[in-house]
Amino acid sequence: MCGIVGYVGGTNKAVEVLMGGLRRLEYRGYDSAGIAVIDEEGVLNSVKRAGKLAMLSDELKRHPVNAGRTGIGHTRWATHGGPTDENAHPHLADNGKLALIHNGIIENFGPLKAELLAEGYTFESETDTEVAAVLLGREYQRVGDLGEAFRSVVARLDGAFTLLALHQDQPGVVVGARRNSPLVIGLGDGENFLGSDVAAFIEYTRRAVAIGQDQIVTITPDSVTVTDFFGAPVEVEEFDVAWDASASDKGGWSSFMAKEVSEQPDAVANTLRGRIVDGVVVIPELAEFGDEALARIRRIVIIACGTAAYAGQVAKYAIEKWAKVPVDVELSHEFRYRDPVIENDTLVVSISQSGETMDTLMAVKYAREAGAVAISICNTQGATIPRESNAVIYTHAGPEVAVASTKAFVAQIAALYLFALHLARVRGTLGSAELLEHTAELQAIPEKIATTLLQGDAVRQLATWMTDSRAVLFLGRHVGFPIALEGALKLKELAYIHAEGFAAGELKHGPIALIEPGQPVFVVVPSPRGSAHLHPKVVSNIQEIRARGARVIVIAEQGDAAVLPFADTVIHIPLAAPLFEPLLAVVPLQLFAMELATAKGLDVDQPRNLAKSVTVE
């Protein structure tokens, strides 16, 4: 969702830094963009446009903004008011001398706007953001200092916000505030940056500081000051960004998604690296809990959204089988608002690629307030969810830019499996021979994913044949069920085709009514070796739908001859133990959705209506 970048420096490169930062934040999803810069003459210039960054670039060519050293930039994902020029940020106040950008939702903007209207202020947009801008302008006129004006404004706002502002009477200063929405500082040499995430400034610096909840930051070219909302100084901790700028480039691929799908072997290998020593899982991040505390856990609640929740559903099977702890997997937004039972021996595990998903953040906060210990699985350093958790196990998938999550998904499963094996060891539920066997399986996964990726051409051909499909169904059992759900989600979000995933055993309880001649159905088939009891059941399910005319595409283990007579198309995956099959079976489904969307001429990196980082509830 909204992307934010701020810059102060010693040279006149504000426009270049802001536009570059917005380009790198494009992946978050947006429908308008704008910048505000204090130019060399000390005058605030602002340009904004509905549409993609190209529209803003064109506008800047028509009406160039003079070079400047201080600026803010924004990509907007519409919430209050449609994606129009007027609603785009920045919003101006104090007679055009102050500019403000915002990510989040100001829930009490209605009464605040009424108050300002009553005082004679006027508004040009339908946004909640302009209310904050006008409020800030009014406070600036009263106190004459941006930082102080910010303190009185944030005290009046409810909801979630990252706000960034500058004032032409204070050139060389950008002030930001955050509550529940992300903001990171980039530390430069004679210049400093602010961004929704490190991608905003990674081209210039890899030294970063994450800003905590309810904090205000003021940057100048030579200083960074962080306080709480009352002005008390706050200690901050610098970290090195592990990603480099090229990691968030397409690197010659046709799309970020194509690149990220191909990076999956590395995403898993990097997540495992250093965490399996002589067959034993080592997770130093969990050391502070001590083995005894982990052994005492009686229940795990996994909270996540979308693809991350499906990773959680896969992990449930592994954690329950290996560590013998009951696991509930809940969508964060459902968990948070239904008075869930949380006891002191409940462990909450959140999963989030971005670490900023507002639904998951709120669920983590809720769980901690209710007394739970919370661990997060996250891919983004300095993100908010890890900061709000007791511990974090980072996945090392590298930056995921495409809206559709792919490499983060397999890395999440790998991290959760490490966690499950660690838990099984401390709880004594698996012996060392089994632990060795499972860690060896896990370490073999990167190579097996690489082999699975070789199916790319076959999947592309299948996708090309299926561009006219109006609905596609996905079936799976056991760990194949969440993979069916994930396959359907990928197809919906990328190719805009109605897609549903079902537990294959549930078919006869209703969904089979959907089957008519020619209906395409993907079936994730468990291994006949590893799942001897389940395999024949899935083959029976395939026969049931074939008998009703379905066109069956199976994802099956290499050498599975039993499914061949009943499949119209077979996509093979390498041999793996049953619990590890999801890491392979998902790959052809990702490829299929990507290829079908590409064949339909759709943008696979930024599908319509979607945002990469969902920072509103």
CA dist list (Å): 239 to 2, 18, 184, 187, 243: 24, 22, 11, 10, 12
Closer residue to ligand M6R in complex, CB, 31/560: 31
Alpha helix (H) ranges present in 348-497? 358-369, 384-387, 407-427, 432-453, 456-465, 480-495
One-letter amino acid of 131: V
Length of the chain: 617
Say which of 2, 113, 259, 448 is annotated catalytic.
2
Task: Map residues 323-352 to x or -, x wherever contact with ligand M6R holds by CB under 6 A.
Answer: -----------------------------x
Total of chain residues touching ligand M6R, rule CB under 6 A: 15
CA dist list (Å): 151 to 72, 100, 155, 463: 19, 15, 6, 55
Closer residue to ligand M6R in complex, CB, 308/563: 308
Closer residue to ligand M6R in complex, CB, 357/439: 357
Q: Is 586 in the site for ligand M6R (CB under 6 A)?
A: no
Pairing of strands 520-524, 471-476: parallel
Closer residue to ligand M6R in complex, CB, 133/524: 524
Known catalytic residue at 250: no
Structure tokens at 438: 């499972």
Q: Is 389 in the site for ligand M6R (CB under 6 A)?
A: no
Known catalytic residue at 612: yes
Which residue in 171, 166, 154 sits closest to 92, CA to CA?
A: 166
Closer residue to ligand M6R in complex, CB, 226/614: 614
Euclidean distance between CA atoms 110 and 135, whole angstroms: 13
Q: Is 3 in the site for ligand M6R (CB under 6 A)?
A: no
At 174, is the secondary structure helix, strand, or coil? strand
Which residue in 16, 24, 25, 66 sits closest to 46, CA to CA?
A: 66
Q: Is 264 in the site for ligand M6R (CB under 6 A)?
A: no
Which of these ranges, 93-101, 220-228, 304-312, 474-482, lies near ligand M6R under the rule CB under 6 A?
Answer: 304-312
Q: How far is the CB of 306 from ligand M6R (least distance, A)?
A: 2
Q: Which residue's beta carbon is nearest to the bound ligand M6R?
A: 306
Whether residue 389 contacts residue 366, with contact meaning beta carbons closer than 8 Å, is answered with no
Closer residue to ligand M6R in complex, CB, 306/574: 306
Which of these ranges, 50-58, 190-198, 215-223, 400-408, lies near ligand M6R under the rule CB under 6 A?
Answer: 400-408
Q: How far is the CB of 184 from ligand M6R (least distance, A)?
A: 16
Q: Is 307 in the site for ligand M6R (CB under 6 A)?
A: yes
Q: Which residues contact 354 (CB under 8 A, 6 or more apart)?
A: 197, 378, 379, 380, 383, 612, 613, 614
Whether residue 75 contacts residue 21, with contact meaning beta carbons closer than 8 Å, is answered with no
Q: How far is the CB of 352 from ligand M6R (least distance, A)?
A: 3
One-letter amino acid of 26: E
> Prior bond to 90 cis, omega within 30?
yes
Q: Is 403 in the site for ligand M6R (CB under 6 A)?
A: yes
Euclidean distance between CA atoms 312 and 308, whole angstroms: 6
Is 336 exposed, middle or buried, given 0-12, 13-18 or 19+ CB atoms closer than 10 A?
buried
**Looking only at residues 472 through 501 of this chain, which bind ligand M6R when binding is defined by CB under 6 A?**
489, 493
Q: Is 404 in the site for ligand M6R (CB under 6 A)?
A: yes
Whether residue 58 contacts residue 52, with contact meaning beta carbons closer than 8 Å, is answered with no
Q: How far is the CB of 33 from ligand M6R (least distance, A)?
A: 21
Q: Is 614 in the site for ligand M6R (CB under 6 A)?
A: yes
DSSP state of 197: S
Which of these ranges, 110-118, 161-169, 212-220, 303-311, lies near ligand M6R under the rule CB under 6 A?
Answer: 303-311
Which of these ranges, 127-135, 299-307, 314-322, 545-553, lies near ligand M6R under the rule CB under 6 A?
Answer: 299-307
Among 32, 75, 271, 405, binds ligand M6R (CB under 6 A): 405
Q: Is 305 in the site for ligand M6R (CB under 6 A)?
A: yes
Task: Map residues 347-376 to x or -, x wherever contact with ligand M6R holds by CB under 6 A.
Answer: -----xxx--x--x----------------
One-letter amino acid of 224: V
The H or E element that residue 151 is part of is helix 146-154
Closer residue to ligand M6R in complex, CB, 404/504: 404
Q: How far is the CB of 354 from ligand M6R (least distance, A)?
A: 3
Q: How far is the CB of 291 from ligand M6R (least distance, A)?
A: 29
Structure tokens at 26: 């494009």
DSSP state of 33: E
Cα radius of gyration (the chain):
25
Closer residue to ligand M6R in complex, CB, 384/519: 384
Closer residue to ligand M6R in complex, CB, 215/352: 352
Distance of CA 29 to the CA centre of its chain: 11
Indicate which residues carry an active-site annotation.
2, 612
Q: For binding to ligand M6R (CB under 6 A), which residues are involved?
A: 305-308, 352-354, 357, 360, 403-405, 489, 493, 614
